[in-house]
Copies of this chain bind each other. A is one copy, B any other.
Amino acid sequence: MIAKEEIRDWFTSLQLDICKQLEETDGKGEFKNDPWERPGGGGGVSRVLTHGNIIEKGGVNFSAVWGKTPEPVLKSMKLQSGEHPDFFATGVSIVIHPFNPMVPIIHMNVRYFEMSNGAWWFGGGIDLTPHYIQEADAKYFHLQLKSVCDKHDPSYYPEFKKWADDYFFIRHRNETRGIGGIFFDYLKDEAPFNKASRFEFIKSVGSSFASIYTYFMKKNHLLPFTDKQKHWQHLRRGRYVEFNLVWDRGTKFGLDTEGRTESILMSLPPMAEWIYRFEAEPSSEEEKTLGLLRKGIDWIHA
């Protein structure tokens, strides 16, 4: 049986490895190390890079926390009243906001949760939010994710792709956050899967992040852009703020359970704008992007 310490240690090294690869590709920015402790048990290390060559603001957070299981988790687990197990949770969370609007925003999370009553599960996902959607880039992104998933089980990609479409959805705008990706939760001991095979999948997802995102960084960061396109980026970041603060369950859970606010909200962009009833020009790239913020697009065969 894989011990929680082994998973935690793997996440620690994943954080360092990702930061190193992002720094190398950025060429200027450096992640600053910010360790913190959780009063109820455990803590984490937030690593934030700002004002890089390519990355305007990016956070790569690791945490391993434990203690009394928070009420909202107990409720969602439908435990018998009177049962008060302890919990242990560890994970890596990433959000990168690039400077150039032609480079997409990316988010990745891999996490492990266990309780003293024996329950455990993995969760996580990767999703991409291009300010301007290019079908070729979307196809490349989804092909990478499918290849990561297919190494483990043919059901993973279709199931987790749909889950991402449903999860990364801004209901009050009737828009997806971006082009989706994969999202999964409660991956547990369920034939044909066991803890070892679930962990191997999580490792593949985590390890795929740096090469996927540095591909977009390298390919797009020198593309020219106008003030108007930068302004559009700020409006799209406004939507990113709306999703994270209104709908993201991880953010809500963190703020409700008195998590570390600065680490939870490192996902927010450096700058965002809102315009009342903004309308994209007909036949513009902005309008094209808005038209593609829909669930259920098969990017690989589009």
A:267-289 near B, CB below 8 Å: 268-277
Whether A255 contacts B172 by the Cβ 8 Å rule is: yes
Nearest-Cβ distance from residue A261 to partner chain B, whole angstroms: 5
A268 to B172, CA, bound (A): 15
Nearest-Cβ distance from residue A230 to partner chain B, whole angstroms: 12
Report if A245-B241 is in contact (Cβ < 8 Å); known contacts: A234-B271, A261-B172: yes
A187 in the interface (beta carbon within 8 A): no
A242 to B264, CA, bound (A): 12
A42 in the interface (beta carbon within 8 A): no
A266 in the interface (beta carbon within 8 A): yes
Whether A273 contacts B276 by the Cβ 8 Å rule is: no
Give the bracket for the number of chain A residues in contact with chain B: 20 to 34
- On chain B, the residues within 8 Å of A262 by CB distance are 276-277
Whether B255 contacts A171 by the Cβ 8 Å rule is: yes
Q: How many copies does the complex hold?
A: 2
- On chain B, the residues within 8 Å of A274 by CB distance are 57, 265, 268-271
A270 to B278, CA, bound (A): 12
A34 in the interface (beta carbon within 8 A): yes
Tell me which of B252, B261, B271 contacts A273 (CB under 8 A): B271
Whether A246 contacts B242 by the Cβ 8 Å rule is: no
Closest to A258 in B: B172
Closest to A244 in B: B245
Closest to A277 in B: B262
Closest to A246 in B: B245
Whether B272 contacts A271 by the Cβ 8 Å rule is: yes
Nearest-Cβ distance from residue A269 to partner chain B, whole angstroms: 7
A70 in the interface (beta carbon within 8 A): no
Whether B241 contacts A276 by the Cβ 8 Å rule is: no
A266 to B264, CA, bound (A): 25
A114 to B238, CA, bound (A): 35
Closest to A254 in B: B172
A25 to B262, CA, bound (A): 39
A133 in the interface (beta carbon within 8 A): no
A48 in the interface (beta carbon within 8 A): yes
A258 to B276, CA, bound (A): 18
Q: Assuming A262-B276, A266-B276, what are 18 further A-B pairs, CB within 8 angstroms? A: A34-B277, A57-B274, A57-B276, A171-B255, A172-B258, A172-B261, A238-B268, A241-B241, A241-B245, A241-B272, A245-B246, A246-B252, A265-B274, A270-B273, A270-B275, A271-B272, A271-B273, A272-B272
What are 8 inter-chain pairs, A to B, with CB distance below 8 A? A171-B255, A241-B272, A245-B245, A246-B255, A266-B276, A268-B274, A270-B274, A270-B275
